[in-house]
Amino acid sequence: MKTMFKSVLIIAFLGIGIAVIGRLFIDSNEQPPYALEKDIPQTLDSRAMDQLLAEDLSITTSMFLDQLSTQLNSWAEQDFSDTQLIEKSQLEIKEHPHINGFIIFDNQNIEQEIGDIINPDFSLLTHTHLKSEFSDPFSKDGKNYMLMGEKLSDNRKILAEVDLSFIQSFVMGMASVADANGSFFVSGDDPTVQWETTNDVPNGFRSQTVPELGWQIVVHSNEHKPEANQKSYIENQVVIKFKDHEKATDWLQEHAELQVVKENLPYYVVSSPNETTEQLLERLQNDFSLAFTEPIYLFNKQGLTKPNDEFFEPYQWNLEQINTSGGWDLSGGNNITIAILDTGVDPNHADLKDKIKTGYNAFDESDDFSDAHGHGTHVAGVAAAMTNNVTGIAGISWNSTILPVKVLNDEGEGSSYDVAKGIYWAVDQGANVINMSLGDYYDSEILYDAIKYAYDRDVVIVVASGNDNVEDPMYPAQYSEVLTVAAVDQNNNRAFFSNYGNHVDISAPGEHIPSLFINNEYTVMSGTSMASPHVAGLAGLVRSLRPDLSNQEVYDVITSSADDLGTKGKDAYYGHGQINIEKALQSISQ
């Protein structure tokens, strides 16, 4: 059993990948820090974190190029004597976010031209990888482009002009990208890292080569420091819960000096403009009418036998490592709803849009669950992306539906109140499984109350352990009602960033995990945020195969069938071991 602490909580998102590298704790200028009695030692190597990010960025770029190559070959195979196919290709070019146009050559004669290419010069294709050829990046009207060519089987060639805006968007100021000549064409906003060439980069910065292009990706993220010695909360506000809800109206009338900021039964957020948060807490914590009173702590981001999805075989090593394909012979996750409590989900992503239920926005209580950050979309894809649809990746519980619950805003920030609201809403909407790739080092009564609400209603709750390489337990990972997930790498070793301790229940792949990204993209991310939805997906498969099992019995199936790693038996680094999807489902098949 996990030890329960009644202290306080900050929640941080647990993603280390493209969009959410490193320690992504909330840092709101509105919220003062709250000092702790002790510091957690800094044991996470920032250089290792930067190297991990550089590798993620490199793999993502390779995936991007693979997509482009597939698209060009698809166009080259079309019969352009059919005017309908020409019109179809013209429409695809207009809709394609990265290709301005293409030209098909036959012995240097133009056979077909679709779209508008700024610089159609084959001589610029000076780099070759397999059957693909590339130019160096060039600039036009403040935007970066490159030419990409494909050698076709009948000696023809297809040449396309590629808009490199995606490269700049996914590095998001965390890295600079140099071409094969060592000249940077993407840099961050910080003037100290706006290098001209790779010769200008000081020692100590981590980089990774994109093999297809010879590009260098140099990471310049902030130093990664565990921030467990601080917490943040919304000033002048507290969240309260009444012992007897029928007395709430009378109590609030008696306390007319308090303003009800938000009301989402059974919780009320009240504020006092003349009192600090600490003064308000001191006054209300001993009020007999209240079940609890606490600050609103801030959260932040911390993430078929053989399907035909394009990235399954070359990139999704993680699914093979946990024996996913064998499990798919027994269950696909039918009739299961997996709630993703996160930054939202991209409602238009091709690998998700047909399986998303109407979601919830905990901030404005609307159904606008759109994701402008990317982390939630990535997590949802790992758990349950569409599978065997040629496009993109394969999701674990591929026939389950996704219930998106936006509890973190577009900067990856939220509060304990918002997450609790999201949990209540997801449970009331019939979620069978909840994934929360979030957590920090402090307990929260409102969070635990919501966790209990979900657990008592037979919901499987899966959470990430954290990315600080420390033993101190995070919340909600510490709660006995949840299944806490640590991360392993491609060699079945503990990921160097993964938190550990007796509260860890299970492990799953968490390094270099390919999945979905906003705007119909795909990226690679690392973190216990990515490990957690592997387990949520397995829970979906288990609940689909055996709907008669309780949530606790689902936990037992997952842990008892795991492949033991590290010290024999349950240990602090791997829990019961790494999930084995095939073994788990075989153990309960009838």
| Residues designated catalytic | 342, 375, 529
3 state DSSP class of 516: strand
Phi first, then psi: give them for residue 497, nearest 5 degrees.
-90, -10
What is the spatial distance between Cα 114 and Cα 364, in angstroms, rounded to a whole number? 44
- Token pair for residue 205? 């910065």
Give the Å distances, CA to CA, from 350 to 95, 299, 506, 517.
Answer: 13, 29, 31, 11
What is the spatial distance between Cα 450 and Cα 419, in angstroms, rounded to a whole number? 9
Q: Which amino acid is at 400?
A: S
Among 485, 483, 443, CA closest to 459: 483
Residue indicated by tokens 């992503």: 349
Q: Which amino acid is at 569?
A: G
What is the spatial distance between Cα 42 and Cα 40, in angstroms, rounded to a whole number? 6
Q: What is the enclosing helix (H) or strand (E) of 89?
A: helix 83-95
HSE value, Cβ hemisphere, 13 Å, CA-based, for 512: 22
Among 352, 405, 398, CA closest to 520: 352
Report yes or no: 350 and 488 within 8 Å, Cβ to Cβ: no
What is the spatial distance between Cα 369 and Cα 472, in angstroms, rounded to a whole number? 32
Length of the chain in terms of residues written: 590
Helix locations, 346-463, DSSP H: 375-384, 416-428, 445-456
3 state DSSP class of 249: helix
3 state DSSP class of 530: helix
Give the Å distances, CA to CA, from 444 to 9, 177, 315.
Answer: 5, 42, 39
